[in-house]
Amino acid sequence: MWQALYEELKPRGFVVITVALDRSAEDARPWIEKAAPTHPALIDPRHTLADLYNMVNVPTVVWVDERGRIVRPNDVAFGTDTFRHITGLESARPLAALRAWVHGETAGVPPARARALQTLPTARDQQARAEFGLAEWLARRGRSEAAERHFVRAGELAPHDFTIRRGSMPIRGLDPMGPKFREMRDAWVGAGHPYYRPLPDDHG
Amino acid sequence: MVTIIDAGREVEVPARLEGERVLLSPEALRDALGWEVHDGTLCNDAMCVPLPEGSSLAAGGPLDLTEVAAVLDRPLALDPAESAAFLGAAAGERAAALASLQAPDFTLPDLAGRPHTLAEHRGKKVLLVAWASW
């Protein structure tokens, strides 16, 4: 889907960059090969992008203009409605907004509003990312038990961060679509927190 | 030896473990992480950070890595049993960068291992999409 959008809007000076927050290129490979993208499709096992942009779940999209400015901060957007029955989020409206921006009909979100819509990382969030970083490093060296301590600590520090809590599941031998995940999500949602955090609808 | 992962860079540091503390000589800290204590400040080639009143880092003995991280306002994840530590990015630095609305640049590989940056697309509108197979 992102590939089709890229091909459609490429003549307008537009590019899509996808980044897989997966434990390895091998986990992401089947999906990327199926999509056969001609845009950059990158792999980020250490969650560099999540750290830089304070991303806490996937999918997360950011609009960046010609000058490298963020003109729409972290938002949830699906390229298709395949998972709509699960997520409750439709793809059409965000895609229409994206097309309007690329066609120059809108300028994106004004800076003051963009800042108001951003969630900035706290010291606790960054401590969680450091714990995740250490855990990921230990896991790559086969130190699973030690890694587990730090994955758990990371999740306790940042219970809202599913790039950590769900994203670590494949590394820890847990099924990220399975009962453990559903239990985690249901507990989070049951406590009154959103699993996805789309921006409010009033922005271009 | 203790392995410190500093901003993604892995360094082996001669250090002593004391319970939850990693103690480094001033030389080890300088060689491994580029920081030195000078007259009540902690400095690298780019900047100096003042030490808080009564900081043990000013006492002239071995330097506690946890205190170094605290002075730099950086998160430190530590596993003494594995002799490993991970120095993360300061929340203040990340927050300031995002609030500036200048999109943070990155270098990441594609499936073929070829590196790509965000900056190389300057002049185009970019849709950055984070996704995962999970």
Helices marked H in chain A: 2-9, 25-35, 48-53, 84-87, 92-102, 111-117, 123-140, 144-157, 162-165, 179-190
Write out chain A's pLDDT in tens, 204 residues: 799 999 999 999 999 999 999 999 999 999 999 999 999 999 999 999 999 999 999 999 999 999 999 999 999 987 766 667 667 777 778 889 999 999 999 999 999 999 999 999 999 999 999 999 999 999 999 999 999 999 999 999 999 999 999 999 999 999 999 999 999 999 999 999 999 989 987 654
What does residue B13 show for φ and ψ, rounded to 5 degrees?
-125, 130
Q: Name every chain A residue with its beta carbon within 8 A of the beta carbon of B22.
A: none
The edge-to-edge listing of strands for the beta sheet with A60-64 is A41-43, A14-20, B125-131, A60-64, A70-75
- Note whether A133 contacts B88, CB cutoff 8 Å: yes
| pLDDT less than 50: residues of chain B | none
Q: So what's the pLDDT on residue B116? A: 98
Q: Chain A: give the shortest CA distance to residue B9, in Å.
A: 11
Rounded to an integer, what distance in angstroms lies between the CA atom of residue B47 and that of residue A72?
Answer: 32
Domain boundaries, chain A: 2-117, 123-190
d(CA B2, CA A21): 28
* pTM of the predicted structure, to 2 decimals: 0.95
CB contact under 8 A, B131 and A118: no
Q: What is the ipTM of this complex?
A: 0.96
Find out whether B127 and A14 touch, Cβ atoms under 8 Å.
yes
Among A144, A151, A139, smallest CA distance to A180 is for A151
Evaluate whether the domain defined by A2-117 bears CATH number 3.40.30.10: yes
Rg (CA), chain A: 18
Where do the structural domains in chain B lie, given as residue ranges? 2-92
Return the amino acid letter for A191.
A
Quick check: helix, strand or coil at residue A56? coil
